[in-house]
């Protein structure tokens, strides 16, 4: 059944057709819990590569789509989980607004539910914040088939957890995100990109020094002997920052293409890693950490806080080096599922964090219905 959603006002009741879809999701989850059958929640399937091995029958949210409410003056949009990311961005663009965390657009099938569930942010994460910082509320279906709504001024429920934000990055292992409300921001009036020739150590020093100054830096990236810096804001602020920083001015079209390629991970660096068989690591470290002593090709984003590494190395070697630098490592694209099974996609948790995550799992999904092993092998 194909259903075309139409925008609704916040006070308008949901249509009977969408109520039926939601109740169908809940019924299937209850049946799975009773039968002990695992489920794998999927929107467009564009992020199936991310995380641990996929298990369970697919529960698709694609039919549950459409913008429910959009208040440009309040900077809030609410949409059903299966709504394509492209549709959300088209609606926002008409009012010169955007999802400021710049989620990767891996495919035309990418959905807003998948954006939140994956919790992945793009280059503007440096300035604007992460996905979870923009989640204002959610409507979810938990592992018992209960339809629950969270959000508002006080976003704490279920034993004190900030439920709406906990869903960001959960990869569908805590519940089905049915609807989500997100804060949006205006598109910057002006942007400019600058290029600086330097090695990675110098690039890290520069972006951290600039980060302590009142400069409208919205993104940085170092790769292949060059540092790129994006400025975003008012015309006067961008012009003043260009004068302060110097560097080589990049053509506006080339600059936009660069940041779009980094956002959507179509940049040559990503094309040569992961999908080509070379494991791709996503390393989160303090922004001031020096370049890690690991062989392989590197791309540095977020003012030094995000390091991409394309290298076929033992997981324990990568994680030990990153842990010593005060961070954690994710095997982002393995190229070989056996490598994920052997070491897990995500950094092993400390005992305290493991206990917290198990408590969350028990609270939301006591029967272990959703995505077993997707986040961590043992739950």
Q: Please, where are the H alpha helices in 119-234? A: 125-128, 163-166, 200-211
Q: Are residues 154 and 288 in the same domain?
A: no
Q: Are residues 182 and 129 in the same domain?
A: yes
Record the tokens describing residue 66, joined without a space.
């459409």
Residue count (the chain): 379
Q: Are residues 169 and 21 in the same domain?
A: yes
Q: Are residues 73 and 201 in the same domain?
A: no
Q: Are residues 178 and 198 in the same domain?
A: no
Record the tokens describing residue 201, joined without a space.
């150590």
Instruction: State the CATH number of the domain containing residue 289.
Output: 3.30.70
**Among 152, 186, 220, where does a domain finish?**
186
pLDDT at 3: 28
Measuring CA to CA, which residue among 213, 212, 249 is closest to residue 230?
Answer: 249
pLDDT at 116: 98
Query: Would residue 38 count as lying in a domain?
Result: yes
Q: Do 72 and 93 touch, CB atoms closer than 8 A? A: no
Domain span holding position 251: 190-261
Query: Would residue 71 count as lying in a domain?
Result: yes
Query: Would residue 372 count as lying in a domain?
Result: no
**Among 127, 152, 186, where does a domain finish?**
186
Query: Would residue 275 count as lying in a domain?
Result: yes
CB-CB neighbours of 142 under 10 Å:
21
- Helix, coil or strand: residue 259: helix
Q: Are residues 79 and 155 in the same domain?
A: yes
Measuring CA to CA, which residue among 200, 190, 217 is closest to residue 308?
Answer: 200
Query: Would residue 319 count as lying in a domain?
Result: yes
Q: Are residues 315 and 214 in the same domain?
A: no
pLDDT at 377: 84
pLDDT at 161: 55
Q: Are residues 58 and 132 in the same domain?
A: yes
Query: Would residue 358 count as lying in a domain?
Result: no
Count of domains forming the chain: 3
Q: How far is CA 235 from CA 190, 210, 243, 345, in A?
A: 5, 19, 13, 43
CB-CB neighbours of 314 under 10 Å:
11
Query: Would residue 201 count as lying in a domain?
Result: yes
Residues whose CB is less than 8 angstroms from the CB of residue 337 and which lie 6 or more positions away in sequence, other chains included: 53
d(CA 220, CA 223): 10
Query: Would residue 293 count as lying in a domain?
Result: yes
pLDDT beneath 70: ranges in the chain: 1-14, 152-161, 274-276, 335-342
Q: Are residues 144 and 219 in the same domain?
A: no
Residues whose CB is less than 8 angstroms from the CB of residue 192 and which lie 6 or more positions away in sequence, other chains included: 230, 231, 238, 242, 249, 250, 252, 255
d(CA 257, CA 346): 30
CB-CB neighbours of 324 under 10 Å:
12
Instruction: State the CATH number of the domain containing residue 82.
Output: 3.30.465.10
Q: Are residues 213 and 160 in the same domain?
A: no
pLDDT at 156: 40
pLDDT at 68: 95
The model's pTM is 0.91
pLDDT at 5: 34
**Among 138, 162, 186, where does a domain finish?**
186
Q: Are residues 274 and 339 in the same domain?
A: yes
Q: Are residues 137 and 29 in the same domain?
A: yes
């Amino acid at each position: 059944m194909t259903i075309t959603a139409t925008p609704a006002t916040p006070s308008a009741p949901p249509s009977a057709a969408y109520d039926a879809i939601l109740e169908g999701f809940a019924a299937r989850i209850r049946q799975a819990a009773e039968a002990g059958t695992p489920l794998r929640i999927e929107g467009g399937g564009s992020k199936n590569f991310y995380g641990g091995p996929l298990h369970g029958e697919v529960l698709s949210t694609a039919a549950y789509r459409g913008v429910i409410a959009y208040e440009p003056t309040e900077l809030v949009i609410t949409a059903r989980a299966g709504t394509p990311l492209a549709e959300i961005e088209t609606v926002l663009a008409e009012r010169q607004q955007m999802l400021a965390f710049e989620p990767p657009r891996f495919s035309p099938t990418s959905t807003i539910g998948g954006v939140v569930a994956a919790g992945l942010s793009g280059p503007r994460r440096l300035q604007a914040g992460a996905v979870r910082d923009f989640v204002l509320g959610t409507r979810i279906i938990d592992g018992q088939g209960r339809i629950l709504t969270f959000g508002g001024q006080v976003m704490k429920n279920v034993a004190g957890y900030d439920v709406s934000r906990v869903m960001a990055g959960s990869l569908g292992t805590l519940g089905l995100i049915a609807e989500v409300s997100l804060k949006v921001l205006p598109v910057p009036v002006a942007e400019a990109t600058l290029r600086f020739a330097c090695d990675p150590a110098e690039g890290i020093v520069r972006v951290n020094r600039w980060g302590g100054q009142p400069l409208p830096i919205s993104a940085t990236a170092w790769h292949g002997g060059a540092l790129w810096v994006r400025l975003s804001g008012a015309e006067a602020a961008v012009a003043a920052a260009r004068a302060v920083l110097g560097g080589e001015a990049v053509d506006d079209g080339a600059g936009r293409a660069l940041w779009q390629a980094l956002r959507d991970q179509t940049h040559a660096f990503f094309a040569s890693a992961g999908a080509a068989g070379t494991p791709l690591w996503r390393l989160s470290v303090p922004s001031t950490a020096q370049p890690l002593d690991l062989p392989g090709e590197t791309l540095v984003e977020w003012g030094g806080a995000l390091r991409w590494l394309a290298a076929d190395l033992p997981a324990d070697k990568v994680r030990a080096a990153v842990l010593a630098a005060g961070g954690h490592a994710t095997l982002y694209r393995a190229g070989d599922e056996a490598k994920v099974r052997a070491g897990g996609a995500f950094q092993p948790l400390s005992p305290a964090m493991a206990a917290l995550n198990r408590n969350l799992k028990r609270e939301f999904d006591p029967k272990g219905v959703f995505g077993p092993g997707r986040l961590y092998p043992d739950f």
